[in-house]
Amino acid sequence: MTARIVLAVSAAALAVAAAGCRGARNGAVAQTGSTSATGGATAAIGFSRCMRAHGVSRFPDPATGGAIPKKSLDELGVSSSRYTSAQSACRSLLPNGGRPPDQAARRRVTALAVRFAQCVRAHGVPGFPDPASDGRIPDPGSVGIDQGTPKFQAANQACGAYRPPYFPSNADYDAWARTHGS
């Protein structure tokens, strides 16, 4: 595999593992620091620190929900072998050893996403999409929804108990928008 593919697969596995941990505990995830919401984030913070301690000094910290931003090996400033070595040393810090969640956990996260989409639509955002065939909600921007509008942010806040672990909170979206000039 090429270095970019290895990194993409690794980042995806980390995000899915963190998502599965957060969404799998009890179906609905509370916005405020519940055990289920912080478990994935806590593991991801430890993983990030471990990666930096093992030679990937530019490895990013996770966002609020525990997902780590995807970065290329060039952005991280390391070789594929250095990254793979650090990842091997740190994998045990992730939920389920960094393996993707099982089928039942994926079904729970998909069900959560369906409830979130229904709730957002009920709170005044009629075009908000249901999860795609992979169980994940597509980027709302792809259907013309601006996540920075007060109407969307009010719906996102009101539906926070159903927000899937990979979907950004208003604070996470606003932070991303500031750094990406949106």
Give the Cα separation of 23 and 35 in Å (integer): 11
Residues 6+ apart with CB under 8 A from 88: none
pLDDT for 84 equals: 93
Domain ranges of the chain: 3-98, 103-179
Per-residue pLDDT tens for 8-45? 334 444 443 333 333 322 222 222 222 233 455 677 78
Residue 128, token pair as written in the block: 């908000």
Most confident of 99-103, 117-121, 133-137: 117-121
Could you tell me which of 153, 86, 163 has the C-alpha nearest to residue 117? Answer: 163
Amino acid 71: pLDDT:
82
Summary mean pLDDT of the chain: 76
Q: Closest Cα partner for 121 from 101, 97, 133, 137? A: 137
Per-residue model confidence as pLDDT tens digits over 57-99: 999 888 755 677 778 898 899 999 999 999 999 988 876 777 7
Token pair, residue 41, equals: 């984030």
Measured at the CA of 142, the angle between CA 138 and CA 146, to 5 degrees, comes to 100
Higher pLDDT, 127 or 94: 127
pLDDT at 158: 96
Mean pLDDT of 111-136: 94
- pLDDT (0 to 100) of residue 122: 97
